[in-house]
C-alpha cells in the first residue's frame, strides 16, 4: 500500500526537479559558484557578435538572465539587453542568445582540459518568441556530430 507521505515526497521531487529531469533549461542563478564567470564570458561573446558593423563604444550590453541545459556539455540561453549610450530606453533591443560549452575532458596525464564557451546564435526577442512555439520537437541544441562523438564515452557524468 502506498503511504500518503510517499505520494507527497514524489510530487515534491517532480515539482522541484521536473524541468531538470526532463532535460529542459533551468534558471542559472547567482548562487551558483561560477555564475559571474559565465555571465562575463557571455557578455564578452555577445558584445563581439552584436557589435559587428557598429561602433562598440556606442552601445551597452547587459545580460539580464541566463538559463542552462546539460546535453553532452552545457547549453546556455541568455537574454541580452543592448542599448545605445544615449540613455534612451526606447532604443534598447532584447536578444535571446545561445552558447555552448563542451564537457571537460580528462587527459591521460590526469589533467582536465576545458573548452571555452562558444557563441551559437542571437535572435531578436520578437523572432525568438514566434519561433519557440515551433521548436517543441526533439531537436537538440547540440549537433548530431557532437552527440555521436561523445556517446562512446558517456557514463552519466554531469558537470
Domains defined along the chain, listed by start: 26-133 (3.10.450)
Instruction: Supply angle C-alpha 88, 89, 94, rounded to 5.
Output: 130
Give the span between the Cα atoms of 97 and 49, in whole angstroms: 10
Give bridge partners of residue 84 from the DSSP assignment: 59
C-alpha dihedral over 18, 23, 75, 113, to 10 degrees?
100
- pTM of the model as a whole: 0.57
- Looking at 35-117, which runs of residues are DSSP E strands? 59-70, 74-84, 93-101, 105-106, 112-113
Long-range contacts of 9-17 (CB under 8 A, 24+ apart): none
Per residue of the chain (159 residues), what is the pLDDT tens digit? 678 787 777 776 666 555 445 556 667 666 667 888 889 999 999 888 887 756 555 678 889 888 888 888 889 999 998 887 666 556 778 899 999 999 888 889 989 888 899 999 998 887 444 444 444 444 444 544 544 444 444 444 444
Distance separating the N- and C-terminal Cα atoms of the chain: 38
β-bridge pairing 74-84 and 93-101: antiparallel
Instruction: Supply angle C-alpha 86, 89, 93, rounded to 5.
Output: 100
φ/ψ of 34, rounded to 5, equals -105, 20
Given a contact cutoff of 8 angstroms between Cβ atoms, the answer to whether 19 and 70 are in contact is no
Amino acid at each position: 500500500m502506498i503511504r500518503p507521505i510517499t505520494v507527497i515526497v514524489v510530487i515534491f521531487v517532480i515539482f522541484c526537479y521536473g524541468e531538470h529531469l526532463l532535460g529542459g533549461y533551468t534558471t542559472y542563478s547567482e548562487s551558483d559558484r561560477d555564475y559571474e564567470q559565465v555571465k562575463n564570458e557571455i557578455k564578452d561573446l555577445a558584445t563581439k557578435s552584436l557589435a559587428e558593423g557598429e561602433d562598440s563604444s556606442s552601445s551597452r550590453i547587459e545580460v539580464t538572465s541566463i538559463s542552462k541545459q546539460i546535453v553532452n556539455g552545457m547549453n546556455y540561453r541568455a537574454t541580452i539587453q543592448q542599448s545605445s549610450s544615449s540613455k534612451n530606453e526606447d532604443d534598447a533591443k532584447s536578444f535571446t542568445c545561445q552558447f555552448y560549452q563542451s564537457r571537460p575532458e580528462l587527459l591521460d596525464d590526469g589533467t582536465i582540459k576545458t573548452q571555452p564557451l562558444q557563441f551559437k546564435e542571437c535572435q531578436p526577442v520578437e523572432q525568438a518568441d514566434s519561433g519557440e512555439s515551433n521548436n517543441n520537437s526533439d531537436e537538440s541544441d547540440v549537433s548530431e556530430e557532437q552527440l555521436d562523438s561523445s556517446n562512446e564515452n558517456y557514463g552519466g557524468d554531469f558537470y
